[in-house]
């Protein structure tokens, strides 16, 4: 009796040390990933160690299926990806998280993608730039209400170098005098003890309740730009890129990355459309370098992957997500360095891509980006005369039959940040096919003479893309929305329709 009691006491003590007796719960809502090959990844972040799995079922059925058990560890901030298998196309599902102590979360819901390789209809919202200092408007509630098939977050989902610069963390942790001076000067000092922890904390602070509600229901596609990569206009030389990648992978569902130890570029398909997601940071050359053959945006391997993917795609529409815009007017020139941070500063590589598209007669390439802090639409690779099917003051329609290998460039941002203006439109270039043709930019995004007294305007902008390859003709429509403060809601400002 005593020996048995002793053994049980030791076992209880071990389990207590391991944390297995601690009640577990979700730290934040699950995040639904991209449905591919009848599988859907879901990111779970909990409060403690232990095992976890997901119970799921179609909303019109009573029988459940379970994912495999995964183990949560403190090393990975108690987060893991659980894979739902045998998920049917274009179907509504509900799911909940089960912990090993037989505790369950609430039920959540999502809808899977339309069948891959077949004509279909889907939609997505795209935008970028979400700074915690300016998060006030419930933008993610508005996005959820539109019920897109997925949401594309195109970078700067948090700002590593603003509202507490994580790039200075190690410096002021080692220098108490510097830390005190910063506090005295009202400079934000982060409470974190490592750069990785600072990345994690920043993600946690911007993923508020509205974001969590949306992300638990609508599949999320993401890439990064300079600020969530870590620093304004950062490139391949950035010293904390590995910490940035680890925090990124802990914050989003698993994506089908093309390489394990490099950048975060990947491809997926939805209906009969191919989608290419670029990494415009991990491999890029410094923006101040002279433009030419040696100046890279994507790096050699990613560039070849993109070109081969576009050439090999049989899709009528090929969607490319780039964190930075392709056009000639949206490039950032901040940080006291010369050059442009967008593709405008990497024109040799940009033109290489455009020439490849033209030489191989690749039609239907649509590029979507963020970064600029204003919405815009441009055409590249176009030929004169440039004709539209129809036009109003708030819309325009084009036919790819008339445009050949022209490439559309759509950009939308910010989610929650200051509005900005682009570079001045060069009127004479509107008739020159060697330059991007500006289809749309709102008046407030045109350059104006600003002074120190010019008020800062915080805004929210997104683009809503609707793809229909079932109808004849096949078409894509892109509608831009911005926050109208008078009605405290998102208002339509311009629409572009592309038919095949």
* Residue range 127-177, pLDDT digits in tens: 999 999 998 889 999 999 999 999 999 999 999 999 999 999 999 999 999
Set out the domains of the chain in order of their start, with CATH numbers. Answer: 2-111 (2.60.40.380), 121-499 (3.60.21.70)
Handedness of CA 389, 395, 400, 404 (dihedral sign): positive
Tell me the backbone φ, ψ of residue 358, rounded to 5 degrees. -70, -45
If DSSP codes are grouped into helix, strand and coil, which group holds residue 106? coil
The residue ranges of DSSP E strands in 172-265, in sequence order, are 220-223
Q: Are 283 and 263 in contact (CB under 8 A)?
A: yes
Cα separation of 465 and 459, whole Å? 20
Cα separation of 80 and 246, whole Å? 13
pTM, entire model? 0.94
105-125 pLDDT, tens digit each: 999 999 999 999 999 999 999
Q: Are 275 and 116 in contact (CB under 8 A)?
A: no
**Six-digit token pair at 400?**
């790819």
Helix (H) or strand (E) holding 465: strand 461-468
166-204 pLDDT, tens digit each: 999 999 999 999 999 999 999 999 999 999 999 999 999
**Six-digit token pair at 453?**
């007294």
pLDDT band of 17, cuts 50, 70, 90: very low
As a whole number, mean pLDDT of residues 374-383 equals 97
Q: What angle do CA 126, 129, 135 make, to 5 degrees?
A: 110
Q: Spell out the SS3 assignment of 382-423.
A: CCCCCCCCEEECCEEEEEHHHHCCCEEEEECCCCEEECCCCC
Q: How far is CA 90 from CA 118, 271, 466, in A?
A: 12, 10, 16
Residue 337: predicted pLDDT: 57
Residues in the chain: 500
Question: β-pairing, 92-99 with 50-58?
Answer: antiparallel
Lowest mean pLDDT among 22-26, 186-190, 340-344: 22-26
Residue 23: predicted pLDDT: 72
Residue 453: predicted pLDDT: 72
If DSSP codes are grouped into helix, strand and coil, which group holds residue 86? coil
């Amino acid at each position: 009796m005593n020996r048995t009691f002793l053994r049980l006491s030791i076992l209880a003590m071990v389990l207590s040390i391991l944390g297995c007796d601690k009640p577990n719960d979700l730290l934040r809502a699950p995040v639904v990933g991209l449905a591919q090959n009848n599988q859907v990844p879901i990111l779970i972040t909990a409060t403690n160690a232990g095992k976890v799995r997901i119970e799921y079922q179609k909303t019109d059925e009573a029988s459940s299926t379970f994912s495999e058990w995964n183990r949560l560890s403190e090393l990975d901030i108690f987060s893991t990806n659980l894979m739902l298998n045998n998920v049917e196309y274009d179907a509504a599902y509900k799911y909940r998280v089960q912990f090993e102590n037989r505790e369950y979360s609430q039920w959540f819901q999502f809808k899977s993608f339309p069948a891959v390789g077949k004509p279909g209809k889907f939609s997505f919202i795209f935008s970028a730039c979400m700074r915690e200092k300016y998060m006030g408007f419930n933008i993610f509630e508005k996005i959820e209400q539109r019920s897109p098939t997925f949401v594309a977050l195109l970078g700067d989902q948090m700002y590593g170098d603003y509202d507490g610069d994580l790039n200075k963390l190690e410096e002021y942790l080692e220098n108490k005098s510097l830390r005190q001076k910063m506090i005295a000067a009202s400079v934000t000092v982060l409470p974190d003890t490592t750069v990785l922890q600072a990345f994690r904390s920043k993600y946690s602070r911007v993923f508020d309740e509205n974001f969590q509600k949306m992300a638990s229901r609508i599949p999320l596609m993401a890439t990064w730009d300079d600020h969530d990569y870590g620093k304004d206009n950062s490139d391949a030389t950035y010293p904390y890129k590995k910490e940035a990648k680890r925090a990124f992978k802990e914050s989003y569902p698993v994506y089908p990355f093309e390489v394990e130890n490099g950048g975060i570029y990947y491809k997926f398909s939805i209906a009969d459309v191919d989608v290419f997601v670029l990494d415009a940071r991990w491999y890029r050359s410094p923006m101040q370098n002279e433009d030419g053959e040696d100046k890279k945006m994507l790096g050699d391997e990613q560039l070849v992957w993109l070109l081969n993917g576009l050439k090999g795609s049989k899709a009528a529409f090929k969607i490319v997500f780039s964190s930075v815009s392709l056009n000639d007017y949206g490039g950032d020139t901040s940080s006291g360095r010369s050059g442009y941070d967008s593709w405008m500063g990497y024109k040799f590589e940009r033109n290489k891509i455009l020439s490849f598209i033209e030489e191989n007669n690749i039609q239907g390439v649509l590029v979507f980006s963020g970064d600029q802090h204003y919405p815009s639409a441009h055409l590249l690779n176009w030929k004169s005369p440039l004709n539209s099917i129809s036009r109003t003051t708030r819309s325009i329609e084009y036919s790819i039959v008339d445009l050949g290998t022209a490439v559309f460039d759509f950009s939308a941002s910010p989610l929650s940040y200051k509005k900005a203006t682009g570079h001045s439109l060069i009127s004479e270039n509107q008739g020159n096919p060697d330059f991007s043709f500006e289809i749309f930019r709102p008046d407030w995004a045109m350059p104006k003479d600003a002074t120190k007294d010019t008020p800062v305007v915080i805004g929210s902008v997104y683009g809503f893309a609707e793809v229909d390859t079932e109808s004849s003709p096949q078409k894509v429509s892109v509608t831009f929305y911005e926050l109208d403060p008078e009605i405290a809601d998102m208002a339509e400002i311009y629409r572009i329709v592309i038919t095949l």
